Amino acid sequence: MLVPGDRVAVDGFLATVRFVGEIPNWPNETAIGIEWDVPERGKNDGSLNGTRYFTTLHGAKSGSFVKPSKLQPTRSFMDAMVYQYASDESLANESASLVDHFDLTIGTKKVESYGFEKLSRLQADFRNLETATLERLNVAVSSPIDSSLHNLQVLDLGFNLLDWHNLMQIVLQLPNLHTLKANGNRWTRYEPCTPCLSVRTLHLAACDLGNSQYTAQLLSCFPKLQHLHVASNGLKYIEVCGLESLDLSDNSFTLLSDAPPAKRLNLSYNDLHIPSLTETSLQIVEELDLCNTAVSEWSEIDNLAQLPNLTSLRILNTPLLNSTDYDSAMCQLFARIPSLVKLDGTVYTTEHRDNFELYFISKVRSKEWSCPQPLWTTLCAKHGVSTQETTPAHQHPTSTCVEVVYDTCRFSATLFSSATVGKLRGKISRKLGLSVLDFQLYTQLGHDIEHLANDQQIVAALGLANPVQVELQPWESGLRQQPYLRKSGVAD
């Protein structure tokens, strides 16, 4: 008998039972009031003709009433395992209750129903199984698990119908399980259970944890966690500590300081800003993903400098970077965060950092950029530059100016002396909105037109005069119609 809080599947979509009873529309029939996991499938907020039968959590149109005949049948864990991994299809179809036929006690009817040969083959398949995926199979109950599954290390139970008790009953019977994926499940009830000490990696994305009163208790069932993925849960706060990695992407955090500490922290797709971090526990953060956040001021980046171990940062698609040229932003990021080594997936050398910092110093001196006084003093001391005198000419990083021509579009690209052809290709890609695979680069070297196909080649090492005009051709036409180069004021 269904009760509010149970999970059901209708037409392949999951929902939570909010009401069981009669409604005037269906006299003498049981009506199941549900709230859809995908709110757009709903038709009401639990009210009919002015009478409220239940309350929805996700909007005025996230609820529906369905008849019991619309509910899809559920499976036990072992039913799903046999259905998914039985080597002989006849095993999966032999009985309506596969769990009952998985008891291997000698002399019982259960063993006879399969026969020793089929059971042995099925057990052999399971003993070799280290990863099992049972996603979207309407698994709702645990069931006894045979010892042939004790080698299982990674289990995906995503988007099923398990309550927390049954989920824990499954994982506690798998002694070598280290990774559990339970994305898309939702839990409206909780009862204390034995902690699972084997699981180190836990995926609970899209589980509506932001609306659950049991989130802390659920996570406490895995005291040995090292990696936690809780994206898309509407979370504004979560209490965990001592993690190697924590994925909080696509939640509702507004301040970086509200996030718990982890060495690798993903806060992308949160509408957050970066306040002062001197009083937080985020000092352990080494890798930080802030892509698609609300970061908009350089003072926020200065606050990141308060994280002494921060070596890797992702920060694309933020108001701050969208408002300036990426290369200019890169110089500021490296100058303002002294521990930074890796930016948006690319590792930069000490030589790169020196170039970035010297360019930053020159921009601050020309009053184009601002710089906090402690940082300015540190940078000037590092490079032997007076805090008041103009930077000596030899201290300025050298650059290469490249004039790019594509159809009727022309623009100049300034590159540091260490920039590669690949870097030039990336700059052109962003400027023109083209994929890097949509064009080729050509330039004239002496009397010859050269195809710049080696992305690792240093642009400055080509020995070209500045400025240099580069023409682009799409890959499909580039080999048939090579462009030529014209240099203004330069004899052929």
Q: Which residues pair with 450 in a beta bridge?
A: 443
Q: How far apart are CA 232 and CA 134, in angstroms?
A: 21
pLDDT for residue 152 is more than 60: yes
pTM for this entry: 0.76
Regarding whether 126 and 191 lie in a shared domain, the answer is yes
299 inside domain: no
Task: Pick the last residue of a domain from 234, 267, 291.
Answer: 234
Length of the chain: 492
Range of the domain at 423: 399-478
Domain presence at residue 214: yes
Report the pLDDT value the prediction gives residue 446, as an integer from 0 to 100: 65
* SS3 of 140-173: EECCCCCHHHCCCCEEECCCCCCCHHHHHHHHCC
From CA 122, how far away is CA 148, in angstroms rounded? 9
Q: Which of 126, 161, 159 is nearest to 145 (CA)?
A: 126
DSSP state of 179: E
State the Rg of the chain over Cα: 31
CB within 8 A of 250, min separation 6: which ones?
Answer: 231, 232, 268, 269, 270
Provide the number of structural domains found in the chain.
3
Q: 234, 261, 286: which is the final residue of a domain?
A: 234
Question: Once rounded to an integer, what is the mean pLDDT over residues 193-201?
Answer: 97
Buried b (16+ CB within 10 A) or exposed e, 455-465: eeeebbeeebe
- Asked, for residue 345, whether it belongs to a domain, the answer is no
Which backbone phi and psi does 52 adopt, to 5 degrees? -95, 130
Measured CA to CA, the distance from residue 157 to residue 199 in angstroms comes to: 14
In a domain, 295, yes or no: no
For the segment 232-266, what is each residue's pLDDT rounded down to a tens digit?
999 999 999 889 999 999 999 999 999 999 999 99
Same domain, 54 and 146: no
Q: Of 234, 255, 286, which residue constitutes the final position of a domain?
A: 234
Gap between the Cα atoms of 455 and 452, Å rounded: 8
Q: What is the pLDDT of residue 463?
A: 62
> Mean per-residue pLDDT for 369-391?
85
Q: Give every CB contact of residue 67 below 8 A, 6+ residues apart in sequence.
A: 26, 29, 30, 31, 32
Q: Backbone dihedral region of 326: left (phi > 0), alpha (psi from -120 to 50 degrees) or beta?
A: alpha
- Nearest 5°: the CA angle 416, 422, 424 is 50
Q: Which CATH number do you get for residue 34?
A: 2.30.30.190
Is 382 within the bounds of a domain? no
Q: Do 46 and 128 fall into the same domain? A: no
The Cα-based distances of 265 to 181, 229, 312 in angstroms read 19, 10, 10
Give yes or no for a contact between 78 and 95, defined as CB atoms under 8 angstroms apart.
no
DSSP assignment letter at 447 = T
What is the three-class DSSP state of 301?
helix
If asked whether residues 204 and 62 sit together in one domain, one would say no
Tokens of 140: 């709702």
pLDDT tens-digit map of 264-322: 999 999 999 999 998 888 999 999 999 999 999 999 999 999 999 999 999 999 999 99
Phi-psi region of 330 (alpha: psi -120 to 50; beta: other; left: phi over 0): alpha
Is the domain of 149 the same as that of 90? yes
37 and 122 inside one domain: no
CA–CA distance, 361 with 396 (Å, rounded to integer) = 9
Looking at residue 382, its pLDDT comes to: 93
pLDDT exceeds cutoff 90 at 400 = no
Within 8 A by CB and 6+ apart from 467, the residues are 401, 402, 403, 412
What are the start-end ranges of the E strands in 221-279? 227-229, 243-247, 262-266
Judgement on whether residues 446 and 423 belong to the same structural domain of the protein: yes
Asked if the structure places residue 270 within a domain, the reply is: no
The C-alpha angle with vertex 114 and arms to 113 and 120, in degrees rounded to 5, equals 150
Q: What token pair was written down for 125?
A: 């398949």
CB 146 within 8 A of CB 104: yes
Same domain (yes/no): 183, 213: yes
CATH code, 419: 3.10.20.90
pLDDT tops 70 at residue 19: yes
In the chain, the percentage of residues whose pLDDT exceeds 70 is: 83
**80 lies in the same domain as 163:** yes
Distance (Å, rounded) from C-alpha 423 to C-alpha 400? 12
**Burial of 390: CB neighbours in 10 Å, binned 0-12, 13-18, 19+:** exposed
Q: Looking at the structure, tell me whether residues 36 and 104 fall in a common domain.
A: no
Q: What is the average pLDDT across 84-94?
A: 58
56 has pLDDT over 70? yes
Q: Which of 409, 402, 415 is nearest to 470 (CA)?
A: 402
Cis peptide before 223 (omega within 30 of 0): no
CA-based end-to-end distance of the chain: 89
The verdict on 141 and 197 lying in the same domain is: yes
Q: Are residues 422 and 404 located together in one domain of the fold?
A: yes
Q: Rounded mean pLDDT of the chain?
A: 84
Identify whether 365 is part of a domain. no
Rounded CA separation 473/405 (Å) = 10
Is-contact 405 439, C-beta < 8 A?
no
Q: What is the DSSP string of 275-291?
A: ---TTSSGGG--EEE-T
Residue 385 in any domain: the answer is no
CATH code of the domain in which 192 resides: 3.80.10
